[in-house]
């Protein structure tokens, strides 16, 4: 299928690895011009050929600086066709496996800065350019927004805010020609689960089981009828479709990609 993205301009945040890196590759394969933002420009991101911009989007001025740099790099077409707000997660700390009473105000603030406010501020800064292009926004949330008991309370709550933000924003921006959709993955084969210092490893330690055993049993524990974790490339393909003119009537929706781990409609 031709997604009609050739020559169009995209900005992807959280692009150094996992879903973000896969999304950069998918959009480049569709012929887009891509600016890829991350705190650190990894060798893997550099190898894609995208224009990498190192930025911390949890700072108040980081998103505006990123959008200014991105629009300058993407050149004089006057618009931005696609913004992918993928930045999220955060550095695993005690809040990820702790309880409500053990989470500090600082941990709550950190979770919302990276999983919510970074996307709010980046979207605000990019909006004039998205409007000029009658473009699209895709926010990457999580099934934890729908099943908040299944993830760290700070992360799940921030992702729920991001999902609600996308729905409300679609209503406001639709008359201006800008579509907004959300993608909510279940467990994905990324560093969040697989890294020895990520959430998966911390969860395994808190449960007293080997990390490898937790990963092997995760699809079954999560109720994924596919029997495996979601691949980053599968999420990236969905993002590319939603950001394309082929999905011109799709807006305000939350698209779950989780192997049917969420059992409600």
Q: Active site residue: 155, 165, 193, 199, which one?
A: 155
> Which tokens hold the place of 199?
């959430």
Question: How far, in Å, CA of 93 to CA of 17, rounded?
Answer: 19
* Residue 33 vs residues 71, 119, 226: alpha-carbon distances, Å: 11, 21, 34
Do 19 and 257 form a contact (C-beta atoms < 8 A)?
no
> Which tokens hold the place of 138?
């895709």
For the chain, list the strands marked E by DSSP: 9-12, 33-38, 51-54, 82-85, 136-140, 179-185, 254-257
CA angle 135–184–121, rounded 5-degree value: 50
In sequence order, the β-bridge partners of residue 12 are 36, 84
Backbone CA torsion sign across 204, 210, 212, 217: negative
CA neighbor of 158 nearest in space, from 203, 107, 122: 107
For the stretch 138-156, what's the b/e string if a residue is b when 16 or more beta carbons lie within 10 angstroms of its beta carbon? bbbbbbbbbbbebbbbbbb
> Which tokens hold the place of 256?
């779950």
Whether residue 155 lies in the annotated active site: yes
Q: Which residues are catalytic?
A: 155
């Amino acid at each position: 299928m031709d997604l009609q993205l050739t020559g169009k301009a995209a900005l992807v945040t959280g692009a150094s690895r996992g879903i973000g890196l896969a999304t950069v590759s998918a959009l480049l394969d569709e012929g887009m011009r891509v600016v890829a933002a991350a705190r650190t420009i990894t060798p893997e991101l550099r190898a894609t050929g995208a224009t990498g911009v190192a930025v911390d989007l949890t700072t108040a001025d980081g998103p505006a600086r990123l959008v200014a740099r991105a629009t300058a790099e993407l050149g004089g077409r006057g618009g931005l066709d696609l913004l992918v707000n993928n930045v999220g997660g955060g550095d695993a700390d005690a809040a990820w496996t702790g309880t409500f009473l053990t989470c500090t105000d600082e941990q709550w603030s950190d979770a919302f800065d990276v999983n919510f406010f970074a996307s709010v501020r980046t979207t605000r800064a990019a909006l004039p350019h998205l409007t000029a292009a009658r473009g699209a926004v895709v926010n990457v949330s999580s099934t934890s927004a729908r099943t908040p008991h299944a993830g760290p309370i700070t992360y799940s709550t921030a992702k729920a805010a991001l999902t609600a933000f996308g729905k409300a924003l679609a209503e406001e921006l639709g008359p201006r020609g800008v579509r907004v959709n959300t993608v909510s993955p279940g467990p994905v084969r990324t560093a969040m689960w697989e890294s020895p210092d990520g959430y998966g490893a911390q969860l395994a330690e808190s449960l007293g089981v080997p990390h490898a055993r937790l990963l092997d049993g995760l699809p079954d524990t999560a109720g994924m009828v596919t029997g495996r974790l979601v691949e980053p490339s599968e999420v990236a393909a969905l993002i590319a479709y939603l950001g394309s003119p082929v999905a011109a009537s799709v807006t305000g929706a939350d698209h779950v990609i989780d192997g049917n781990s969420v059992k409600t409609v």
